[in-house]
A and B are shown apart, each in its own frame.
Chain A
Amino acid sequence: DTAVSQTPKYLVTQMGNDKSIKCEQNLGHDTMYWYKQDSKKFLKIMFSYNNKELIINETVPNRFSPKSPDKAHLNLHINSLELGDSAVYFCASSHSQGRGNGYTFGSGTRLTVV
């Protein structure tokens, strides 16, 4: 009964490949997010998405694209992977209304591009 689940937990792939990371939440949240955590542990927002709007961080390369088949899922597709894409990617979700309980995070996906 994991609240926010990401798969896979580890992903090793070669440069130039296309890969996807899946995220599912069962909390009934209406907004989902993708974050990138670099080697210095800095967390950088990539996307936020709810049923109203997709907000893209303008610094994210267009090789990255979120896909949301429904409100409980927000998958991350990455085309033409580069060495610099190696990082830990976190999915998170939250309510856009309510008590401001903050994010619930997935356990992260460590992506290594070789």
Chain B
Amino acid sequence: AQTVTQSQPEMSVQEAETVTLSCTYDTSENNYYLFWYKQPPSRQMILVIRQEAYKQQNATENRFSVNFQKAAKSFSLKISDSQLGDTAMYFCAFMKRLNTGNQFYFGTGTSLTVIP
């Protein structure tokens, strides 16, 4: 079975600073996908960034980037130039493909607060 661990229940960062959220996972799969989702107080789940396990290059989306270490099964999210709107719950997720659809495993989340 796959598990996803986010060891930081809560974090805070000063506005304009950089913060890194950690995520580790456990799997015997070789081909899979990893995601970070953001859930602001509005409750909407928003995809932040995705990474394909077969790609060595770390994914980047504007101020968001990941450090993907496949051998270590680590997938951390770095947020640069933090903004107040980044305040949210962040979920790391592991996905494997099945014939009947994608199977997701979510971490327990990290609550990030950006301090003005």
Contact = CB atoms under 8 A, between A and B. Distances in A.
Contact of A55 (B39, B45, B97, B100): B100
Interface of B: 33, 35, 37, 39, 42-47, 50, 52, 89, 91, 93, 95, 97-104, 106, 108-109, 111
A56 B41 CA distance: 29
| Max count, chain B CB within 10 A of own CB: residue among A33, A40, A53, A103 | A103
B97 A48 contact: no
A90 B37 CA distance: 14
A41 B44 contact: no
Contacts of B50: 100-102
Contact of A88 (B43, B97, B101): B43
A103 B104 contact: yes
A14 interface: no
13 contacts: A31-B102, A33-B101, A41-B39, A41-B109, A43-B91, A55-B101, A92-B45, A94-B101, A100-B33, A102-B47, A102-B102, A102-B104, A110-B43
A49 B98 CA distance: 12
A96 B43 contact: no
B98 A96 contact: yes
Contact of B44 (A31, A102, A108): A108
Contact of B99 (A52, A90, A103, A105): A52
A79 interface: no
A108 B43 contact: yes
Nearest to B100: A53
Given A48-B101, A96-B101, A103-B104, 17 more contacts: A31-B100, A31-B101, A40-B108, A41-B109, A43-B106, A49-B101, A52-B99, A53-B100, A90-B45, A94-B102, A100-B95, A101-B50, A103-B47, A105-B37, A105-B46, A108-B44, A110-B43
Contacts of B43: 88, 107-108, 110
A25 interface: no
